């Protein structure tokens, strides 16, 4: 299993992680946390305390939009979907992180995949 | 299974957010904890391990509450204030103004009423319509979970606007024309005529919607 990334470092990547997931499909909070954990092999882990403030902040900025609807089990869940503004944020954020890894690589020999 | 909503409510105080936003947050966080518990149970973890996982979800509830409040409050408060105060107040004001205009266009003359030796001119049809607009403003504010104060202001907005206008006119008139006792008397009559009596009429309509606390009412109706 991949080593878990320090929460302080992980927090900075949260916006990109959430936007990337929601670009594929609308998800509710628990699903977002679960998928981030699964797809990063547990390296990135979002708890309730780290996920929801970030989601609410992104919602305030108009990047995502939350709406109540029933999930497959018939329970009401707040599904988040990407707004057009959020979609426009995705490419620049990816580029920003790419530049960040390149810079880190040049400085500390931290190569990325 | 624990009552997760009660669990979250006991850890996140409700005071700072509008009730509907607060309830949404509580339900959302509670459902997250519930699914975390169900997932851990399905994975065959023992009760102690599940409890540890739940505890790790939030290390500092006070900090979480403050962060959520910051993230939610600005836009939410603006929207809440608009829906519970400004919009209902505007509707009351427009309704009352339209009613007065129609009354005057219909050629209705004000009726002179003597009160304590002072003659006051009243537009009866207009005054009769004001409880309706007072009720409408207070009702719309109540429906948007406005506080008692917001409902009171929304329901009496047209009289309050008139009071503000007169409050500007009087000092201006005194400044231009100088102080005259008769001017003060006519201002007092105008105040009763255009603020006092309409205010009473508006409040008669608003009164049924001024009772009860919208926040408590909403909390009782909270989603389960």
| Residues of the domain holding A94 | 7-106
- pLDDT over 80 (residue B107): yes
Overall average pLDDT of the A10-20 stretch: 84
Residue appearing with tokens 């829906």: B83
Q: How far is CA B195 from CA B108, B116, B168, in A?
A: 20, 18, 14
Q: Please list, in sequence order, all residues whose beta carbon lies within 8 angstroms of the beta carbon of residue B184, skipping any fewer than 6 positions away.
A: none
- Chain-wide mean pLDDT for chain A? 86
Q: Which residue has the higher pLDDT, B73 or A51?
A: A51
Q: What is the pTM of this model?
A: 0.57
Query: Which of B14-18, B147-151, B172-176, B203-207 is the least confident region?
Result: B14-18
CATH number at residue A16: 1.10.10.10
**Within-domain flag for A1:** no
**Rounded Cα–Cα distance for residues A81 and A4 (Å):** 27
Its ipTM equals: 0.85
B17 CB neighbours in chain A (<8 A) are none
Domain count, chain A: 1
Domain residue spans in chain B? 4-80, 83-216
Q: Which residue, among B36, B52, B71, has the nearest Cα to A14 in the 3D structure?
A: B71
Overall average pLDDT of the B62-69 stretch: 89
Please state, for a pLDDT cut of 70, what percent of chain B lies above it. 90
- pLDDT over 70 (residue B202): yes
Q: Do the beta carbons of residue B64 and residue A53 sit within 8 Å?
A: yes
**Rounded Cα–Cα distance for residues B155 and A3 (Å):** 61
A100 has a chain B CB within 8 A of its CB: no
Overall average pLDDT of the B48-72 stretch: 88
Nearest CA in chain B to A32: B32
Pull the structure tokens for residue B193: 């005529």
Nearest CA in chain B to A33: B32
**Which pLDDT score is estimated for B48?**
86
**Within-domain flag for A111:** no
C-beta atoms of B60 and A60 within 8 A: no
Overall average pLDDT of the A57-68 stretch: 90
A62 has a chain B CB within 8 A of its CB: no
């Amino acid at each position: 299993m991949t080593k878990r990334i320090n929460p302080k470092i992980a927090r900075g990547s949260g916006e990109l992680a959430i936007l990337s997931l929601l670009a594929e499909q609308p998800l509710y909070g628990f699903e977002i946390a679960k998928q981030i954990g699964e797809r990063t092999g547990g390296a990135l882990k979002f708890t309730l305390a780290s996920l929801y403030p970030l989601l609410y902040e992104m919602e305030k900025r108009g990047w995502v939009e939350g709406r109540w609807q029933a999930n497959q089990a018939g329970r009401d869940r707040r599904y988040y979907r990407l707004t057009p503004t959020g979609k426009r944020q995705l490419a620049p954020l990816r580029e920003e992180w790419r530049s960040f890894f390149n810079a880190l690589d040049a400085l500390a020999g931290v190569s990325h995949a | 299974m624990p009552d997760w909503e009660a669990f979250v409510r006991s850890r996140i105080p409700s005071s700072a957010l509008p009730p509907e936003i607060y309830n949404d947050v509580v339900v959302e966080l509670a459902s997250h904890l519930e699914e975390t518990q169900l997932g851990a149970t399905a994975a065959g973890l023992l009760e102690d391990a599940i409890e540890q996982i739940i505890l790790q979800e939030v290390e500092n509830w006070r900090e979480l509450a403050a962060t959520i409040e910051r993230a939610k409050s600005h836009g939410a408060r603006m929207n809440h204030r608009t829906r519970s105060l400004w919009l209902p107040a505007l509707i009351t004001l427009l309704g009352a103004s339209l009613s007065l205009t129609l009354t005057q266009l219909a050629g209705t003359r004000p009726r002179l009423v003597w009160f304590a030796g002072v003659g006051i001119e009243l537009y009866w049809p207009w005054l009769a319509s004001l409880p309706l607009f007072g009720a409408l403003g207070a009702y719309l504010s109540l429906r948007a979970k406005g506080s008692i104060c917001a409902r009171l202001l929304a329901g009496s907005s047209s009289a309050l606007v008139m009071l503000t206008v007169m409050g500007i006119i009087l000092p201006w008139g005194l400044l231009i024309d100088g102080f005259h006792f008769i001017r003060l008397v006519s201002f007092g009559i105008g105040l009763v005529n255009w603020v006092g009596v309409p205010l009473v009429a508006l409040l008669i309509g608003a009164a049924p919607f001024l009772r009860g606390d919208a926040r408590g009412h909403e909390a009782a109706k909270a989603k389960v």
